Amino acid sequence: MTTPTACRMCRGTVIEVLDLGPQPSANAFLAPGSADLEMVYRLAAGICESCTLLQLIDDTPPDLRYSDTYRYEASGSAGARRHFAQVAERLLATELTGADPFIVEIGCNDGVLLDHFARAGVRHLGVEPSKGVAELAMAKGVNVTTEFFGTSTAVDIRERFGRADVVFGANTICSITDIADLMRGVDTLLSDDGVFVFEEPYADTIVRKRAFDQIYDEHVFYFSVRSVQEMAHRFGFELVDAEQIQQHGGEIRYTLARPGTRTLSPMVGMLLFREAEAGLADPVALRAWAADVQNTRTRLVALLENIRAEGHRVVGYGAPAKATTMTNFCGIGPDLLPFICDSTPGKQGRLTPGSHIPVRPRDAFAGDYPQYALLFAWNHAAEIMAKEQEFSEQGGKWIVYVPGVRVI
């Protein structure tokens, strides 16, 4: 364990609870022959004794996390496309009903959400620092500025377009290291009766399901309802709703508003009570979770080694950022996993960060089925298994590791 560090939000003491070892940037997929340029850092998480915010111990520069090698495209999943279509429909019906509504999305990626507003003729703007995916959004007709969101960006947007009725983020707010600058930016940009809505990985899901692979360099924070409530109060907002959603295996959609402008949902109190019962802010309980994480690694590596010893083949399925954490923490390389198939064109023909496993298109999987497939994209299990029914019909078996290692 390292010396306790200061919380990024409240400056309280952060106690380390989980060390996942040296890791590269999770979405920095490599061109063959470029592995010598790769940077690694220590990936560890800790809990703040004061505000209970679960967070990374060490930082990596955001311009490295969201460089030209950033390969995640949100539109690549049918489930994600359906989800954001529903989000757009809901916001259009509830929050964007005025004469000239305006929505700003922090981290719009390839425009999977804002595309719906563009086609509906609603004023919108995406703030996306990764130029590669931003260009994909622009090609759909989405308005994008390629910057990091913060107070200065918010001032510029307000001066150019006016205040926003909705500021939205999905799997993005947890990536912004400077919470104070983020919240000042939201305060600057949001209208008096507007809402700040964001959906993020839920600390309870990560702990309860042992979904530790959701911890990687992009996700600096792992929010709970209690820590978001503290964040809201600290920066002049109120947490008015906390809605459980199924994205990425279990997230929370938080809604913040200016105090007194919205009715408080009973779900906030219910989830706060559940978190207290689960000991989600207790370092002792979290270290027990860390022991379970170590057990998952031991069991998964043993299983893969046994499969190899029996002369069977196992390949990976899906190369999300989660796969980077998992392969590097477990020491899984091409000797145990000759390749991983993924549907994202930008990842194909490249190597996974750190573990340097080749990424191939789905045809490499369906063209010559292995005996086993290690499912890294476990949050899309139902969608993937339905698509790959022939693999199962021919005797293929799936290996999953959340919430525990098992063969399906």
- Read off the pLDDT of residues 243-297 as tens digits, 9 standing for 90 and up: 999 887 789 999 999 999 999 999 999 999 999 999 999 999 999 999 999 999 9
Alpha carbon separation from 146 to 109, 174, 267 (Å, rounded): 10, 19, 36
- How much is the pLDDT for 72? 64
d(Cα 339, Cα 281) in Å, to the nearest integer?
A: 38
What is residue 1's predicted lDDT score, i.e. its pLDDT? Answer: 45
Please tell me the predicted confidence (pLDDT) of residue 37. Answer: 77
Superfamily name with CATH number, domain 80-278: Vaccinia Virus protein VP39 (3.40.50.150)
Q: What's the pLDDT at 75?
A: 78
The mean of the pLDDT values for the chain is 93
Q: What is the mean pLDDT of residues 331-345?
A: 95
Confidence band for 71, pLDDT divided at 50, 70 and 90? low
Task: Convert the pLDDT of each residue in 116-144 to its tens digit.
Answer: 999 999 999 999 998 888 999 999 999 99
pLDDT at 280: 94
Q: pLDDT value at position 98?
A: 93
Token pair of 404, please? 């525990």
Q: Do the domains spanning 80-278 and 284-407 agree at the CATH topology level?
A: yes
Residue boundaries of the structural domains of the chain: 5-65, 80-278, 284-407
Q: Give the other-Cβ count within 10 Å of 6's Cβ.
A: 11
Measure the CA–CA gap between 329 and 297, rounded to whole angstroms.
Answer: 8
Q: In percent, how much of the chain has pLDDT > 90?
A: 86
Report how far residue 346's alpha carbon sits from residue 70's, in angstroms, rounded to the nearest whole number.
9
Mean pLDDT of 102-111: 96
**What pLDDT was estimated at residue 76?**
73
Structure confidence by residue, pLDDT tens digits, 341-379: 999 888 999 999 999 999 999 999 998 999 999 999 998
Q: Quick check: 62 pLDDT over 90?
A: no
> Which is more confidently placed, 35 or 396?
396
What backbone phi and psi angles, to 5 degrees, belong to 297? -60, -45
**What confidence score (pLDDT) does residue 68 get?**
55
Mean pLDDT of 150-173: 97
Please say if the pLDDT value at position 70 is more than 60.
no
Measured torsion, CA atoms of residues 280, 285, 286, 290, in degrees rounded to the nearest 10: -140
Cis peptide before 403 (omega within 30 of 0): yes
Mean pLDDT across 76-103: 93
Fold of the CATH domain 284-407: Rossmann fold (3.40.50)
Output the 3-class SS for 333-393: CCCCCCCEECCCCCCCCCECCCCCCEEECCHHHHCCCCCEEEECCHHHHHHHHHHCHHHHH
- Residues of the chain with pLDDT > 70, as a percent, come to 96
pLDDT of residue 245: 94
pLDDT score recorded for residue 246:
85
The two three-digit tokens of residue 134, written as one number: 């931003």
